[in-house]
Amino acid sequence: MLELNEYLKESASIVEKRINEYIKSKKYIHPILSESMLYSINSGGKRIRPALSFIVYEMLSGKNKIDIIDAASAIEMVHTYSLIHDDLPAMDNDDLRRGKPTNHKVFGEGIAILAGDSLLTDAFHIISSSNKLSDNIKAKVIEILSFRAGGSGMISGQAMDLLCEKKNFPQKKKEEYLKYIHLHKTADMIIASAEIGAVCAQIDEKTIKKLRIIAKNAGLIFQIVDDVLDVIGDKKKLGKKGSDIENEKLTFVSVYGVEKSMNMAEKIYKKTIKEIENIDGIKEKKELLKNLVELFLRREK
């Protein structure tokens, strides 16, 4: 996993640098808004979504990840916006994110909302104004990201997550609702990351379909483990208090318990590794992809 850790560090570094350059170069941006946006962008994290895009792109094209830096940065901007809004009192009401006060605790709810809004909107501008991507690729990337992050994707997952709090759902449908929440709230943006890496590599649709399945499974693994860590994880390592129980959320742990949830994650992991083997691509990058999925399963934060 040492090679993966180095890859993640490098990927995070170039993405953070690009987003910082982009925000700081914007004309007319209010300095407090800029400060709020950069506070969350620079708050740490492994940047696994852009890293996934990079790995897929390099695995399929044999080219350098810097070619798709604007697309990958857009993914991280959308992800960061979602975290800012998730932490708000009207959503998960969290005080900590990655061990630091959440955006609204530092800048107030209004500015935090606007910082999220700006990161979301500017994500599409950093793509459309890119001098590294062709117009055709830009259009495809925008189509994927807007679909997976929008009302048919992540936001509907968040909506269902909110609406199911306090056990506000029919018990006989809890598994169906749980699957819906995590397919959209978490997996959709991981699927988007893989899809974007693939379309930037200009790969065939058959391979993209295989990658969608891999990314969907990876997203489910990530969320199952997230639900487990919220209950039994080290809060210092997590950098947040864990609010699922307090908010009475519909989670894998609330439905299946810790042990069964982790067994499910292990089974999905083994299946996903086999699916990666069926992808044609550069071997060393395939190994990185396998290691990334394993990281989703073994992580402690």
* Distance linking the first and last C-alpha atoms of the chain: 16
Predicted structure pTM score: 0.94
Residue 169 phi/psi, 5-degree rounding, is -160, 155
Which pLDDT score, from 0 to 100, does residue 239 have? 54
Name the DSSP class of 100: E
Q: Cβ atoms within 10 A of the Cβ of 269, count?
A: 21
Residue 115 and residue 32: Cα distance in Å, rounded?
9
CATH number at residue 91: 1.10.600.10
Please, how many CA atoms are within 13 Å of residue 94, restricted to the half-sphere of its CB? 25
pLDDT tens string, the chain, 301 residues long: the values are 669 999 999 999 999 999 999 999 999 999 999 999 999 999 998 999 999 999 999 999 999 999 999 999 999 999 999 999 999 999 999 999 988 999 999 999 999 999 999 999 999 999 999 999 999 999 999 999 999 999 999 999 999 999 998 888 888 999 999 999 999 999 999 999 999 999 999 999 999 999 999 999 999 999 999 999 988 866 565 555 556 677 788 999 999 999 999 999 999 999 999 999 999 999 999 999 999 999 999 998 7
Torsion of CA 279, 282, 288, 294, to 10 degrees: 20
Residue 36 and residue 73: Cα distance in Å, rounded?
17
Whole domain around residue 277: which residue ranges?
A: 2-298
Which pLDDT score, from 0 to 100, does residue 167 have? 83
Task: State how many domains the chain has.
Answer: 1
Name the DSSP class of 65: G
